Amino acid sequence: MIFNKLEYLSLQIDNAIGMSNKEVGSALQLQLMNDTISEVLDAVSTQQRQFESRLATRRQLQAVLAPEHDMPSEAKQMYVEDQLAFYRQLIGEMLTFFTGSEQGRCVSFSLTVEELLFFIRLLLEEKVMEAGALKPIFLFLSKHARTVGSDALSYESLRKKYSGVQAGAKRRVSELLSSLAKRAAGHMDQD
């Protein structure tokens, strides 16, 4: 999971901002940071070579087996489906390598789908978030998010559930917002 390692390294660096030089050196353990970055780069390089090799082999196969004009339509269809299956698998493996998930999801919400959708509706109604339409939001969530109980969100499912949020989900979001308001007030008291 390259993405997670890079995020972790980035957080370490962000946490070191504002420390004295001596604190930064010990906090980051500079040699360990260098070694970890080298490991990440080596892993990326190795995996890139493997992906490139598989793609080059596929290109050679396509050059040899490219459907001819006189090939029966059923055979052409099988050929195309085989190529698409290869690309689907390769891209899935690439997503898994970089993000840790075949779907490429990199944002995980500790809410159910309904709770997330209701929360988004509140953000839109209060103009905290601007969107000309719901479609871009649903597309983003279907490509990059997962929720409690749903590792994969579909555009159609999000669209259907958006306006039919149950009372339990609304109550949970209300409790969450109350908790966030208390936390924000506590931060203000600290300043």
| Same domain flag for 94 and 112 | no
Whether the predicted pLDDT of 170 surpasses 90: yes
| Same domain flag for 87 and 122 | no
Domain that holds residue 36: 2-99
| Same domain flag for 77 and 127 | no
The average pLDDT across 19-46 equals: 76
DSSP per residue, 110-163? SS-HHHHHHHHHHHHHTTSS--S-SHHHHHHHHHHEEBTTBSS--HHHHHHHHT
| Same domain flag for 8 and 74 | yes
pTM of the shown model: 0.53
| Same domain flag for 22 and 88 | yes
| Same domain flag for 111 and 182 | yes
Q: Which tens digit of pLDDT belongs to each residue from 70-128? A: 788 888 888 889 999 999 889 888 877 887 665 555 688 899 999 999 999 999 999 99
Domain total in the chain: 2
